[in-house]
Structure 1
C-alpha cells in the first residue's frame, strides 16, 4: 500500500486518540515503513502539544476575551459587521 493512501488513516488514528492502528493493513505498513512511523510519531507529538495549550492561550492571551477575538476576526477577514 502506498504511503499517500495511508496518511488519512494515520491522521484519523491520531485524532481518535488511538496508540496503534486498527487496520491490519496500516499496522503492517507502519511496521515496515520508517517514513510512516516517523510521520505517525510527529502527528502524535503535535496532538499532545496542542492538547496541552488551552485554545484561548494560543495567541498569548491568558483568559478568553470575546471582544478581542471578534476584533481579531474582523481584522483578519476584512469583515466590518
Structure 2
C-alpha cells in the first residue's frame, strides 16, 4: 500500500469491487471511497505490524526503512490515497 500511494498509483475502485465480490469479502453491489477507507482502516487496526515487518524484511536491502511502519503511519498515509471509479 505504501509503495502504491507514494508512487501516485490511482486505486481503481471498480476493479477493487469486482475482486472483493469475487473473493466473498464484499457482499454489496457498490462501494464508495468512504467505505473503502473504512475497510482499510479496519484492517490496519487489527494487523500485527511486527508480523508484517518480519514478512517484508527479507525482500528489502535496508530493513531500517520499516521502522516508521505503524498503525498511525498507515492511517496517515491513507490521506494521500488516490481513488478512481472509472472503468
Q: TM-score surpassing 0.5?
A: no
- TM value normalised by structure 1: 0.29
Higher helix proportion:
1
Question: Greater strand percent: which structure?
Answer: 2
Could you state the TM-score of these two structures normalised by the residue count of structure 2?
A: 0.27
